[in-house]
Structure 1
Amino acid sequence: MAQNLDALRLALQHSPDNAPLLLLLAEGCLEEGLVEEAEQCFHRVLQNDPAHADARLGLARVAFLQGKTSQAAVRAEQVLSDTPTCAAAYLLLARIHVTENELARAKAMYDKGVALNAALADPGIEKDLRGVKPSGNDDSSRKRGAMTSSGAFLESATEDKDEDENDDDGHPRGGAAFDLGLADFEKPKLNFSGVGGMEVLKEEIRMKIIYPLQHAELFKAYDKKVGGGVLLYGPPGCGKTLISKATAGEIKANFIAIGLHQVIDMWIGNSEKNMHEVFELARQNAPSILFFDEIDALAADRRDLRQSAGRNIINAFLMELDGSESNNDGVLILGATNAPWHIDPAFRRPGRFDRTLFVPPPDEPGRAAIIEVMAQKKPIAELDPKALAKKTEGFSGADIKAVFDLATEEVLNQAMKTGKVIPLTTKDLIKAAAKHKATTKAWFESAKNYAMYSNQSGFYDDVLAHLGLLKR
C-alpha cells in the first residue's frame, strides 16, 4: 500500500488538481491511518469544487475518526441536505449514532442507506442494531421536504394533518417535537473544588464570568448586560467541558450541554427551529449556561459551504447569539473548540464570542491535583502525586486518566489470577506513564504555526506565552 501511495503522490506532482487522484490518495491514507494527509486531500478537492459530495463526506469521515462526532454529523447531514441519495452519508450517520448509543436513530439511518445501496451493508452495524426498531422521528414524522443541490425545495406526496397540530401544552406533536432529553436538566453539583488544577483559568473565569453574574445589579446600573458568549479553546482532553460544568455549579446556574449534531436536521427549516428552542430553553431557565461543544463544526461550515443550505442554521445561530429578537440577559453561551483557527471571524466580533479563554494542559502542581482527584476512587496503597506529576510533563487531564487506566489494567490482570484486590502504587502509575505519549504535542505543533504567522489580532498570544515565545 505504501508503494501505491507514493505512486499517487508522484502522479499528483504532475497533476495537482486531479480530483480522482486526490480522492484515491485520500482513501489510501485513511486505510493506512494517515488521517491528516487524507484531510488535506479532501480540502484540495473542495478548493476547486466546493460542492463535491465525496470530498465533503470525506471530511465528515475524517472528523469522525478524529473523535469529533458533532462535526462529523453536521457535515454528513449537510451532504444529505444537498444530495439526499448519498447512501454513504446515511451509513456514516448510523455509525455516529451507534457510538452515542442512539440506536433507534442509527437504525433509521442505516436502513435508508442500505435501501439506497445494498452493497454498503455492514455486518458490524447490523449486529449492534439487532432487535432495534427505527425511530419514528427520522422519516415520515418529520417535516416533508428537503433541499436539493440546486436549492429547490421538494415536498413528499404524502401528508399528515396531525403533524402541524400542537398538544395540550402547546408543543408540536410527532416528529415536529424537539426532544433532546433536556427537560430534566438540573444545576450541576460539581464546582471548582472538584476540578484539579487550572487555578489561573479558574481566576480568569471568576473575573470574566462569575463575578458579573453574581453582581448583576451593579452591571445593570451601568446598562451592561449579564451574559454573552465566551470561547474556550485549547488541546483536546484538557477539561473544557469539565470547567464549563463546574462554572455553572459555582454560580448555581442551569447547565445545558448541546452537541451541534443534536440540532442539525436534514429537513429544511427544522434546524433553525431546533436552534431557537434550545436558546429559548436557556432563556426560560436563566441564569443558565448554554454549552456548545465542537463549535468549530458550525463555524467551519460557514467557510467551506458557502452555497449550502447549512448557512441558514449558521445565520440562525448568530441571530440567537446576538439576542436581536429575544433577551439573552442571564444566559451565558460557552463554546469549546480544539481548532480555533477554523472559527470564522464573524463569530468573534463584539457581542458574540468576544471573550476567549485558553485552556492549556495542566502545569505540574495542576497535574498533582488532578492525580489526587483521580486517585480518590481507586484502591491505592501509596501515592506520591508530585513524583507522578514530574513524569507526566505535557499530559492533559485525559492523558492522566489514560495513565490510571493503563496501570489499572496491569493490576487487574494480577488480581484476576489471585482473586484478590491488589492496590495500585506510584510505581505502577509511573510505569504506565512511560508507555503513554502526551496527546497535546500534536495540537501545539499546529497551533504554533497559526500563532507565529496568523496572529495579527493577538488572538493566540496565550499560546505563544505557554510555549515561552512571548514575554509578558
Structure 2
Amino acid sequence: MSNEQEGKQAQLRVIQFDRSRYEMVEKTQPRETFADVGGLEEVKKKVQMNFILPLQNPEFFKAFGKEAGGSLLLYGPPGCGKTFLAKAIAGEINANFLHMELQAILSMWVGQSEHNLHDVFETARAYKPCVLFIDELDAIGGNRQNMGQHHERMLVNQLLLELDGLNAHNSGVYVIGATNTPWYLDSALRRPGRFNQMIFIPPPSEAERELILKLKLKDKPQEALNTKKIAGKAQHFSGADLEQVVEDAVEQALQRSLESGELQPITQEDLQDSLKRRNPTTLEWFSTAKNYAIFSDVNKDYEHVLNYLRDHKIR
C-alpha cells in the first residue's frame, strides 16, 4: 500500500450510496468524537465496552473470545441525535463512516435491492475499520410475518446473511442500526451476534438543550438572549424540535427586518413566542413506547423507557 493510500485509509470518511450511478461516493467530514456529545454518559460507557476498548486492549478481549467489531441498535424518539452519536463513535475509533439510507437500497427491479445491500456491506468490509450506520433499520428489517411481498422478506433475509457474515470473518466492521420503532423489527435481528444490544437515546437534558439552542443561534443577529431560561421551559423537546423553535424565531426577526428596512435581531420574545407555539414531538413517541414497554416487553428491553417516564413524570 502506498503512502498516499495509507493516508487516505487513516482519514475519517463518509461514504454515501448514489442511486443514480449505483456507486459509492466518498467525501471527508470533520471528525466528531465523544467530546462533542453532551451527556449520555451511560451510553458512552456501553459503546466503550463494545467498540472502543476491544481496539485498545485486544489481548484481554481475545482471551475471552471477543474481537473488535459487532453491532449496536440505537433507538428512541426521532430527532434526538442517533446519527450524530454514530458519527462520534466512528470519530472516536478513527474509523470510516458509511451512512446507509433506505432510498440508497430499494429498487423496483427484482433482486436489485438485495444486491445493493450486499454492495454496501462489501464496501464497509473494504474500508475497515468502518462504522456502517443503517438509518431507519425497521424499514429494511421489519417483521417478516407481517410482510405480504416475497421481495420484502428476501431483503430481510439478505440483511441477516450480511450480519452473520460479519461475525464469521469481518473483524473491524461495526454495524450501528437506528430506529424509532424497535418493536417492529424482525425477531431474528435481535438474536445474539446481531442487534442484540439496544441503547436508548433519550431527549436532551436541560444543559444539552441550552447547548443546542446556542449552536443553532450562533452567528445570527441577536440581542442578549437567556437561552438557559428557554431550555428550562423546553422540557422533552428533541434537538429537531429546538431547531424548529430557532427557525420560527428567525422568521419573526426577518419579518420585522423586511417591514422596517433595517436588520432586526432575534429577541428573547421571539424565542418565547416560538416555544409557546410548539409542543415536544417526543411525547407522542413516548405514548406508543409506553404501551409496548408495559404490555409486550417480555425481555425487559424497554426498561430505560419506563425509567425515563417515571423520572420525568410523563404520564
The Cα of 1:196 is off from its aligned counterpart by 4.2
Partner residue of 2:84?
242
Q: 1:6-50: per-residue Cα shift (whole Å, max 9, x none)?
A: xxxxxxxxxxxxxxxxxxxxxxxxxxxxxxxxxxxxxxxxxxxxx
Instruction: Identify the range of structure 1 (367-376 vs 320-329) with the bigger mean alpha-carbon deviation.
Output: 320-329
Partner residue of 2:67?
225
| Residue in structure 1 matching 2:195, options 341, 349, 353 | 353
The within-5 A match list for 1:11-160 is none
Letter of the aligned partner of 1:350 in structure 2? P
Structure 2 vs 1, CA of residues 412 and 213 (structure 1 numbering), >3 Å: closer, same or farther?
A: farther
Q: 1:205-241: per-residue Cα shift (whole Å, max 9, x none)?
A: 3343333344345423433121111001001111111
3-state SS of the aligned residue for 2:300? Answer: coil
Partner residue of 1:367?
209
Letter of the aligned partner of 1:457 in structure 2? N
Partner residue of 2:294?
452
Partner residue of 2:120?
278
| Residue in structure 2 matching 1:263, options 105, 108, 111 | 105
What is the alpha-carbon distance in structure 2 between the residues aligned to residue 187 and residue 287 of structure 1? Answer: 16
Q: 1:301-320: per-residue Cα shift (whole Å, max 9, x none)?
A: 52322551222221111111
Q: How many residues align?
A: 295
3-state SS of the aligned residue for 1:346? Answer: helix
What is the alpha-carbon distance in structure 1 between the residues aligned to residue 104 and residue 134 of structure 2? Answer: 11
What is the alpha-carbon distance in structure 1 between the residues aligned to residue 81 and residue 262 of structure 2? Answer: 34
What is the alpha-carbon distance in structure 1 between the residues aligned to residue 189 and residue 243 of structure 2? Answer: 33
Q: Does 1:427 align with 2:269?
A: yes
The Cα of 1:285 is off from its aligned counterpart by 0.8
Query: Greater CA radius of gyration, 1 or 2?
Result: 1
What is the alpha-carbon distance in structure 2 between the residues aligned to residue 426 and residue 197 of structure 1? Answer: 26
Structure 2 vs 1, CA of residues 452 and 349 (structure 1 numbering), >3 Å: closer, same or farther?
A: same
The Cα of 1:277 is off from its aligned counterpart by 1.4
Partner residue of 2:12?
none
Alignment check: 8 A CA contact 2:33 2:89 kept: yes
Alignment check: 8 A CA contact 2:143 2:184 kept: no
Structure 2 vs 1, CA of residues 378 and 398 (structure 1 numbering), >3 Å: closer, same or farther?
A: same
Instruction: Identify the range of structure 1 (207-216 vs 376-385) with the bigger mean alpha-carbon deviation.
Output: 207-216
RMSD: 2.4
| Residue in structure 1 matching 2:139, options 270, 277, 297 | 297
The Cα of 1:188 is off from its aligned counterpart by 4.4
What is the alpha-carbon distance in structure 2 between the residues aligned to residue 434 and residue 214 of structure 1? Answer: 48
Partner residue of 2:231?
389
What is the alpha-carbon distance in structure 1 between the residues aligned to residue 120 and residue 202 of structure 2? Answer: 29
Alignment check: 8 A CA contact 2:238 2:280 kept: yes
Partner residue of 1:411?
253
What is the alpha-carbon distance in structure 2 between the residues aligned to residue 305 and residue 209 of structure 1? Answer: 33
Partner residue of 2:5?
none
3-state SS of the aligned residue for 2:97? Answer: strand
What is the alpha-carbon distance in structure 2 between the residues aligned to residue 289 and residue 326 of structure 1? Answer: 17
Any unmatched runs of 5+ in structure 2? 1-17
What is the alpha-carbon distance in structure 2 between the residues aligned to residue 430 and residue 325 of structure 1? Answer: 51
What is the alpha-carbon distance in structure 1 between the residues aligned to residue 151 and residue 90 of structure 2? Answer: 34
Partner residue of 1:464?
306
Any unmatched runs of 5+ in structure 1? 1-101, 106-134, 138-177
What is the alpha-carbon distance in structure 2 between the residues aligned to residue 209 and residue 297 of structure 1? Answer: 25
Superposition TM-score, scaled by structure 2 size:
0.85
Partner residue of 1:150?
none
What is the alpha-carbon distance in structure 2 between the residues aligned to residue 423 and residue 361 of structure 1? Answer: 29
Letter of the aligned partner of 1:341 in structure 2? W
Partner residue of 1:52?
none
Alignment check: 8 A CA contact 1:196 1:367 kept: no
Alignment check: 8 A CA contact 2:141 2:186 kept: yes
Alignment check: 8 A CA contact 1:195 1:370 kept: no
| Residue in structure 1 matching 2:164, options 298, 308, 322 | 322
Partner residue of 1:287?
129
Letter of the aligned partner of 2:33 in structure 1? N
3-state SS of the aligned residue for 1:255? Answer: strand
The Cα of 1:424 is off from its aligned counterpart by 1.9
Partner residue of 2:3?
none
Partner residue of 1:25?
none
Residue identity over aligned pairs, in percent, reads 43
What is the alpha-carbon distance in structure 2 between the residues aligned to residue 338 and residue 269 of structure 1? Answer: 27
Letter of the aligned partner of 1:453 in structure 2? F
Structure 2 vs 1, CA of residues 391 and 360 (structure 1 numbering), >3 Å: closer, same or farther?
A: same
Superposition TM-score, scaled by structure 1 size:
0.58
Letter of the aligned partner of 2:104 in structure 1? Q
Letter of the aligned partner of 1:315 in structure 2? N
3-state SS of the aligned residue for 2:223? Answer: strand
**Structure 1 runs of 4+ off > 6 angstroms?**
none
Structure 2 vs 1, CA of residues 449 and 469 (structure 1 numbering), >3 Å: closer, same or farther?
A: farther
What is the alpha-carbon distance in structure 2 between the residues aligned to residue 265 and residue 334 of structure 1? Answer: 23
Structure 2 vs 1, CA of residues 452 and 431 (structure 1 numbering), >3 Å: closer, same or farther?
A: same
Letter of the aligned partner of 1:206 in structure 2? Q
